[in-house]
Amino acid sequence: MSWHVLGAGSLGGLWAARLFRGGEPVRLILRDRPRLAQYRAGGGLRLTEGDTTSLYPLPAEAPEAGNPIRRLILACKSYDAEEAIASVAARLEPDAEILLLQNGLGSQDAVAARVPRARCLRASTTEGAFRETDFHVVAAGAGQTWIGDQLGTQAAPPWLETLCALGFTLRWTDDIDARLWRKLAINCAINPLTVLHRCRNGELRQHAAEVADLCSELAALLEAMGLAPAAQGLQQEVEAVIAATANNRSSMLQDVERGQRTEVSYLLGHALPIAQRLRLPVPQLEALHQRLRARLEERGLPVD
Ligand code: NAD
Ligand code: KPL
């Protein structure tokens, strides 16, 4: 049974190359014919891991190709996910499984609403990869990926084991939303501040009080949502992530520095309306969102 990977960027490239290398049938779906021609001219997908770069001649196709899709990895950014799934919706088999790799929250529901018959599995990953050039991906540090159903009612799919053998650290969870919310909270406490202070993650240690205030409001929000376990020890984990990734630029800072749209709508932009609905005051988070939007506007970037 073939895998399809939609979104041949950093994470999509990493997943696709590892599947191909492991002997799994896999096809890339590229945005359109010009992109397909560009990919074919380069001879395939390049993956650098450590000192080794390999070229993998994965088959690729356009969204409108005729073959049906049974297992799909959706690996584009959150803000592109809905449009991307719509471009292949007609090709999905009735019992298709879709693995959603998007960070933050909000895009997963939008995708599931577009393809109500498919089984949408949500992932929360700390795997790292970046694009050296188009169709050349660099694996940037091993992480782990939690996968689960939204309602946590079904068993892990049998292919989880197969993928673990290909170099992924995958774990099944009955509570993927709690994992996604915890990651969202960590990203809300770190990423916007790195943009505002234009700093690497580790430099946030000089803004410890600001980080602590944000963690306290984020933990209160998680508790108010009935996600008390996801709130526990949030500040300590944020501090640990800042220390462990001290030398990194956050993904949001990287987006801003590259002049690209950020995923803020799926992080702070997703959390704040929920706080409002729950009538929970979160003044520090509101102020952070305003400051971030102002900075994005200054840089000529979309504020959503
Ligand atoms: P990316 O920008 O490197 O790749 C996204 C790819 O999707 C691009 O190649 C883009 O052209 C393609 N795409 C967009 N719309 C498309 C469409 N309609 N049809 C076909 N292709 C389309 O992004 P990424 O870094 O791989 O991130 C993907 C998601 O994974 C994001 O939500 C990100 O936050 C999350 N994530 C990434 C990393 C990482 O290390 N890169 C780590 C954790 C989570
Ligand atoms: O996930 C991250 C991101 O940059 O998006 C952190 C954990 C902050 C690491 O940089």
Helices (H) and strands (E) in the chain, counts: 12, 12
| C-alpha to C-alpha distance for 54 and 148, rounded to whole angstroms | 31
* Per-residue pLDDT tens digits of the chain, which is 304 residues long: 899 999 999 999 999 999 999 999 999 999 999 999 999 999 999 999 999 999 999 999 999 998 999 999 999 999 999 999 999 999 999 999 999 999 999 999 999 999 999 999 999 999 999 999 999 999 998 889 999 998 777 889 999 999 999 989 999 999 999 999 999 999 999 999 999 999 999 999 999 999 999 999 999 999 999 999 999 999 999 999 999 999 999 999 999 999 999 999 999 999 999 999 999 999 999 999 999 999 999 999 999 9
Domain enclosing residue 247, as ranges: 178-298
- Would you say residue 304 lies in a domain? no
- Would you say residue 222 lies in a domain? yes
What is the per-residue pLDDT for 66?
87
Question: Are 119 and 263 members of one domain?
Answer: no
Question: Are 134 and 265 members of one domain?
Answer: no
Q: What is the number of domains present in the chain? A: 2
User: Does any ligand 2 atom lie closer than 6 A to the CB of residue 251?
Assistant: yes
Residue 102 CB contacts under 8 Å (≥ 6 apart), including other chains: 74, 76, 77, 78, 81, 108, 263, 266
Question: Are 28 and 126 members of one domain?
Answer: yes
What separation, in Å, do the N-terminal and C-terminal C-alpha atoms of the chain show?
38
Pocket of ligand 1 (CB under 6 A): 6-12, 30-31, 75-78, 80, 83-84, 87, 101-103, 125, 127-129, 131, 251, 263
Secondary structure string (H, E, C) spanning 99-126: EECCCCCCHHHHHHHHCCCCEEEEEEEC
What is the per-residue pLDDT for 46?
98
Question: Are 50 and 27 members of one domain?
Answer: yes
Q: What one-character DSSP code corresponds to residue 291?
A: H
Question: Are 187 and 152 members of one domain?
Answer: no
What is the per-residue pLDDT for 154?
84
* CATH number for 35: 3.40.50.720
Q: Which residue has the tokens 């709508």?
A: 265
| C-alpha to C-alpha distance for 85 and 65, rounded to whole angstroms | 14
Helix H or strand E segment including 129: strand 129-133
Question: Are 38 and 182 members of one domain?
Answer: no
Question: Are 8 and 157 members of one domain?
Answer: yes
Question: Are 120 and 193 members of one domain?
Answer: no
User: Does any ligand 2 atom lie closer than 6 A to the CB of residue 102?
Assistant: no
Question: Are 117 and 245 members of one domain?
Answer: no
Q: For ligand 2, atom 6, which residue shows the shortest CA distance?
A: 250
Which of 4, 10, 99, 132 for a ligand 1 pocket mutation test, highest count of atoms within 8 Å of Cβ?
10
What is the number of other CB atoms lying within 10 angstroms of the CB of residue 232? 13
Q: For ligand 1, atom 17, which residue shows the shortest CA distance?
A: 84
Task: Give the Å distances, CA to CA, from 42 to 38, 58, 194.
Answer: 7, 11, 35
CB 124 within 8 A of CB 146: yes
Q: Which of 174, 200, 233 is the last residue of a domain?
A: 174
* CATH number for 272: 1.10.1040.10
Q: Which of 130, 159, 174 is the last residue of a domain?
A: 174
Question: Are 162 and 98 members of one domain?
Answer: yes
Ligand 2: distance of its center to the CA of 247 in Å?
A: 11
Catalytic residues: 183
Tokens read off for 96: 């298709």
| C-alpha to C-alpha distance for 241 and 225, rounded to whole angstroms | 24
Backbone angles phi and psi of 268, in degrees to 5: -55, -40
| C-alpha to C-alpha distance for 300 and 304, rounded to whole angstroms | 12
User: Does any ligand 2 atom lie closer than 6 A to the CB of residue 78?
Assistant: no
Question: Are 99 and 146 members of one domain?
Answer: yes
Measured in whole angstroms, how far is the alpha carbon of residue 100 from the centre of its chain?
Answer: 8
Question: Are 137 and 271 members of one domain?
Answer: no
What is the per-residue pLDDT for 141?
80
How confident is the model over 1-54, as pLDDT tens digits? 899 999 999 999 999 999 999 999 999 999 999 999 999 999 999 999 999 999
Backbone angles phi and psi of 255, in degrees to 5: -60, -45
Q: For ligand 2, atom 9, which residue shows the shortest CA distance?
A: 250
